[in-house]
Amino acid sequence: NAGVMQNPRHLVRRRGQEARLRCSPMKGHSHVYWYRQLPEEGLKFMVYLQKENIIDESGMPKERFSAEFPKEGPSILRIQQVVRGDSAAYFCASSPTPPGIYGYTFGSGTRLTVV
Amino acid sequence: DQQVKQNSPSLSVQEGRISILNCDYTNSMFDYFLWYKKYPAEGPTFLISISSIKDKNEDGRFTVFLNKSAKHLSLHIVPSQPGDSAVYFCAARNTGNQFYFGTGTSLTVIP
């Protein structure tokens, strides 16, 4: 029973390029969350999705960032025209229902470096 | 606005002694509180949690205490072991079903 799978583990992009981060939730989990950890900071909520729906995107920057969780396939976090400040670790988490006492299960993260 | 705060970025404890990690929050509507543990280059893993209707939850060497009037949460690890060395994040759930995380406390247990 694989956990939350994120790929790639490391991603290097030049300024102005696009970054696509993928997340396959645990089997049976239909709720997906994306968090970002900037250097020396905690985990910041970005977006909460269920299959084909964005439930809460209050933590997403207004421009350049988008997320989707299609009916088939992984959830995708897309960052267009990346800038140096986008360099961070991006974590995906999933849960079978809205999270309760056991919270989420996190993936190992994608470390994005913008050069 | 940081709704969950961990004011100690780091903590060092001798092996066998007690580790106490603290967390403060501002939103009285939070209903679940969790602690996550994170090793370098890995994702956070769930450690222990507590509902807002309780004031203590214990699981082996780990105990979480909740003081609602003070809006304060703490994690006690006793006895501390070198394998406990990691970053510990406090998290709280709001009615929107997402968790707010603190900035983490890096625990080092000295053998």
The answer to whether the bond into B79 is cis (omega within 30° of 0) is yes
Both tokens of B74, joined, read: 């703490």
For the segment B35-39, the average pLDDT, to the nearest whole number, is 95
**DSSP E strand boundaries for B18-111:** 19-25, 32-38, 45-51, 56-59, 62-67, 72-77, 86-93, 99-101, 105-110
Q: Is A85 helix (H, G, I), strand (E, B) or coil?
A: helix
Q: How many CB atoms lie within 10 A of CB B47?
A: 19
Which DSSP category does A38 fall into? Answer: -
End-to-end Cα distance, chain A: 36
Considering only CB atoms, B97 lies closest to which of A41, A99, A102, namely A99
Tens of pLDDT, residue by residue over A12-50, are: 999 999 999 999 999 989 999 999 998 777 889 999 999
Higher-pLDDT residue of B97 and B56 is B56
Q: Is A86 helix (H, G, I), strand (E, B) or coil?
A: helix
Residues in chain B: 111
Both tokens of B55, joined, read: 């004031």
Q: Taking 70 as the threshold, does the pLDDT of residue A84 lie above it?
A: yes
Q: Does B51 touch chain A (CB under 8 A)?
A: yes
Per-residue confidence (pLDDT) for residue A49, from 0 to 100: 94
Q: Is B82 helix (H, G, I), strand (E, B) or coil?
A: helix
Considering only CB atoms, B98 lies closest to which of A6, A56, A105, namely A56
Highest-confidence segment of A28-42, A48-62, A66-80, A99-113: A66-80
Do residue B36 and residue A99 have CB atoms under 8 angstroms apart?
Answer: no
Per-residue confidence (pLDDT) for residue A36, from 0 to 100: 95
Per-residue confidence (pLDDT) for residue A28, from 0 to 100: 87
Sheet holding B4-5, edge to edge: B4-5, B19-25, B72-77, B62-67, B56-59
Any residues with CB less than 8 A from the CB of B25 and at least 6 apart, and which?
B3, B4, B5, B33, B71, B72, B73, B92, B100
Q: Which of A59-63, A64-68, A107-111, B80-84 has the lowest mean pLDDT?
A: A59-63
Tens of pLDDT, residue by residue over A97-110, are: 877 777 889 999 99
Per-residue confidence (pLDDT) for residue A83, from 0 to 100: 97
Asked if A106 contacts A93 with a C-beta cutoff of 8 angstroms, the reply is yes
Per-residue confidence (pLDDT) for residue B97, from 0 to 100: 72
Per-residue confidence (pLDDT) for residue A1, from 0 to 100: 52
Give A72 to chain B, closest Cα distance, Å. 23
Q: Taking 90 as the threshold, does the pLDDT of residue A74 lie above it?
A: yes
Higher-pLDDT residue of A53 and B97 is A53
Any residues with CB less than 8 A from the CB of A73 and at least 6 apart, and which?
none
Per-residue confidence (pLDDT) for residue A40, from 0 to 100: 74
Per-residue confidence (pLDDT) for residue B1, from 0 to 100: 65
Q: How many CB pairs (< 8 A) connect A and B?
A: 67
Q: Does B92 touch chain A (CB under 8 A)?
A: no
Which DSSP category does A23 fall into? Answer: E
Asked if A33 contacts A48 with a C-beta cutoff of 8 angstroms, the reply is yes
For the segment B52-61, the average pLDDT, to the nearest whole number, is 96
Considering only CB atoms, B103 lies closest to which of A42, A48, A100, namely A42
Both tokens of A14, joined, read: 């030049």
